[in-house]
Copies of this chain bind each other. A is one copy, B any other.
Amino acid sequence: MPTSHPSITATALWESSNRGLTKLLSAEESSQLAAMASVVRFKKGELIYAEGTHANAAFNIIDGAVKTYRAASGGREQINGFLFADDLFGLAEEGRYVNSAKAVTNVTAYRFPVSTLEPQLHKNGDLEFGVISKLCHELREAQWHALLLGKRNALAKVAMFLQVVEHGMHERRSTRELYLPMNRSDIAAYTGMSLEAVSRSFQMLIKQNVIAQRDRRHIVILDRAQLHALAALR
């Protein structure tokens, strides 16, 4: 219903006044934050937190890869995104995690307990600003993901997936070769296709000399223009 003043609505981020959590971090404040954080490790395949459980910490990846996903019916998991070093995750809604997180490789991360985090957030304006930037960033990524899922052609999806991975990697590493920490099954869950279709698409890209693979997790893009063209399909 239209109101007499501008208004926006959103489901509460904090349950009442002390719950939930978000991401943060800017430049110099990180030392304050380091003080309240602990370093934790997760083994490959280990569950970091489960959808719907009480959210009591946020995480900032130091090294490794993490996937966040929501359980779809039939035991299927729809992956929301992959996260790497410097990424932040563990967002809550009304004090509960909205998706599950699992380590794709061995992972090292900072762990921020919500209880110590939240007061800082309220006190420090710059910190809040950092959070906003990060949230916008995540929103962009979610929209990219939706764009990928909207494609109706298997090759286009996989091609775009590779572009996304390369984009994300390039900001961190500078090798020509790209490393895929996740397996085909995870790629399938992310792109919304069957694992066999993912495999076929990879083989197709190889046969057409668009990419080459040293092994299943190390890919080189041979024909960037062609990859781009394929990703633009449908």
Mark A residues whose CB is within 8 Å of B.
1-3, 5-13, 22-25, 30-31, 33-34, 37, 60, 62-63, 70, 72-74, 76, 78, 80, 85-88, 91, 93, 98-99, 108, 110, 122, 125, 128-140, 142-143, 145-147, 149-152, 171-173, 192-193, 232-234
Contacts and interface: CB of A to CB of B under 8 A. Distances in A.
A86 B122 CA distance: 25
Contacts of A88: 8
A91 B142 CA distance: 14
A6 B147 CA distance: 31
Contact of A128 (B12, B129, B140, B145): B129
Most chain B beta-carbon neighbours within 10 Å: one of A63, A91, A149, A151? A149
With most chain B CB atoms within 10 A of its CB, the pick from A9, A63, A145 is A9
Q: A10, A11, A130 — which one has the most chain B CB atoms within 10 A of its CB?
A: A10
26 contacts: A2-B62, A2-B63, A2-B108, A5-B33, A6-B110, A7-B25, A7-B60, A8-B25, A8-B86, A9-B137, A10-B130, A13-B133, A22-B132, A70-B143, A74-B234, A80-B146, A91-B139, A98-B140, A98-B143, A122-B125, A135-B135, A139-B142, A142-B143, A142-B145, A146-B146, A146-B149
A8 B34 CA distance: 13
A69 to B, nearest CB: 10
Given A5-B31, A8-B24, A128-B128, 7 more contacts: A5-B33, A8-B25, A9-B86, A12-B133, A73-B233, A78-B147, A152-B192
Contacts of A125: 122, 125, 128
Question: For A30, A132, A147, A152, which residue has the most chain B Cβ atoms within 10 angstroms?
Answer: A132
Contacts of A86: 3, 7-9
Contacts of A13: 132-133, 136
Nearest to A10: B137
Nearest to A129: B128
A172 to B, nearest CB: 6
Contacts of A9: 86-87, 137, 171
A72 B23 CA distance: 31
